[in-house]
Chain A
């Protein structure tokens, strides 16, 4: 039998090495020294030296559901695309339709597909004006994305300028008290937060304030100049924000039913089999990269939520046994809010919410129920 479980010794060794690896070999965000001052446990996160927690991951999780948490997400890349053809470029480049963006500051979530219809990355697109859109892409895919976009820019003769904004830091402020904390930390911002709707952004001087997030709670993602980030972070902490590591970020987003690139979808999977059909615009005649492949494709699988009924913890890559064949967990964890294990899984079509399936964990077959996700939104369990 294939072993997918690590020994305690192996894990301790790997994690000690992560904690002790030369920081110089890893990329740093502008908040690296701040995390170290806060005694964060730092890990190698795709080449970035990032805080996985500042003590207890589960306590941090609850802070975001009940108060206000602060996340350093500066490893993600803001990217400005400027030029006369920027809207036309994005209409061909991504699967969602940027024509949904007509008001300055409005944001759109989309996949960027390859010709085979696989997902190169998922990203957020902000419409600033007809010659300027801002994108935010994943850290691990940033270079690949940029190369792809530059190639399309050249192939389609668009004449656009693509500027990676590594001069910016990004801090996510998330939780029911996020607005209060931001208003306290940043005098004058209340005139913006009072009117900013979810999935919209506004500029305030050099700052960029978006009402977006990856937790299922109200909150903001704020871009600031890198040099200002440590001061801003401290002001947010004085206003009641608590630092939250990437560990809790993962349990929060999974409870919120949000996909993670590289786990729930990648270049080999279709967005239509990854729970992302709602982001693929096939209603208009618009020709975008990957559309032809998606139209020809036969959909046989679906992404569903799983709730473990037996005791244990669901993890990525565990096998799911259904009456219509096998599937696989793409992301699994212990849900701190539900005190139960939950997962996203790719399973055959025809299995409906409410039905039971089995998950192979070690030498056992444990019972799980198929559910519609999200599991948790705005502090409330929805299952």
Chain B
């Protein structure tokens, strides 16, 4: 599956979409879900929680293993996707539409520090060899 060009990425395999109003939608990448396998449990951060960049804020659990999800930038959680919590397999079906939570970034300019699709593609390739 190709890596969407309109999204931003983190080295820890989260994707970030910058919405028109400047808020950020966050999920985990197709590559991450592919390696983790069937998702069975998602724990999202509470709405209103203030996150530091890189803070552990969510958990994804596949049949195989549990793993942390990190805040891509500093900000406040403005919503969490209840649908993905009740149907974690949505992440396996389409990782880029099954978002996990939305952030209001503390500083809009921080998004520029995230990876673009080409850089993320390189990271995935380098980890595979």
B 59-84 contacts with A by CB, 8 A: 59-61, 63-70
B31 beta carbon closer than 8 Å to chain A = yes
The answer to whether B38 and A57 touch across the interface, beta carbons within 8 angstroms, is: yes
Q: Is the CB of B67 within 8 A of A20?
A: no
Q: Which B residue's beta carbon lies closest to that of A3?
A: B68
Report the Cα distance A270→B70, complex, angstroms.
41
Contact with B along A1-41 (1 / 0, CB 8 A): 00001111111110111011000000000000000000001
Q: Does B50 contact A (CB under 8 A)?
A: no
CA A212 – CA B32 in complex, angstroms?
Answer: 36
The total of chain A residues at the interface (CB under 8 A) is: 31
User: B11 within 8 Å of A by Cβ?
Assistant: yes
A5 and B59 contacting across the interface, CB-CB below 8 Å: yes
Contacts known (A16-B127, A19-B128, A334-B63); A56 close to B92, Cβ less than 8 A? yes
Interface string of A34-76 (1 = CB under 8 A from B): 0000000100000000001100111000000000000000000
A151 to B4, CA, bound (A): 61
| A58 cross-chain contacts in B, Cβ below 8 A | 38, 40, 63, 89
Total A-B pairs, Cβ < 8 A: 84
Interface mask (A324-336 → B, CB under 8 Å = 1, otherwise 0): 0000000001101
Inter-chain contacts of A247 with B (CB < 8 A): 37, 63-64
In contact, B65 and A6 (Cβ under 8 angstroms): yes
- Find out whether the CB atom of B127 lies under 8 angstroms from the CB atom of A8: no
> In the bound complex, do residue A6 and residue B67 qualify as a contact, i.e. CB atoms below 8 Å apart?
yes
Contact (Cβ within 8 A) A313 B37:
no
In Å, the complex CA distance between A57 and B64 comes to 9
- What is the interface of chain B mostly: helix, strand, loop, or mixed? mixed
CA A15 – CA B127 in complex, angstroms? Answer: 10
A20 in contact with B37 (CB, 8 Å):
no
Interchain CA distance A56-B128 in the complex, whole Å: 21
- Bound complex: CA A19 to CA B68 (Å): 21
Interface contact B68-A313, CB-CB below 8 Å: no
CB distance from A323 to the nearest CB of B (A): 27
A110 within 8 A of B: no
What mask results when residues 88 to 123 of chain B are scored 1 for a CB within 8 Å of chain A, else 0?
010010000000000000000000000000000000
Residues of the B chain whose Cβ atoms lie less than 8 Å from the Cβ of A380: none
- Look across to chain B and name the residue whose beta carbon is closest to the beta carbon of A8: B67
| Contact flag A313-B41 (CB < 8 Å), given A6-B67, A16-B127 | yes
- Binary contact track B24-63/A, C-beta < 8 Å → 1, others 0: 0000100110011110110100000000000000011101
B residues adjacent to A (C-beta < 8 A): 11-14, 28, 31-32, 35-38, 40-41, 43, 59-61, 63-70, 89, 92, 127-129
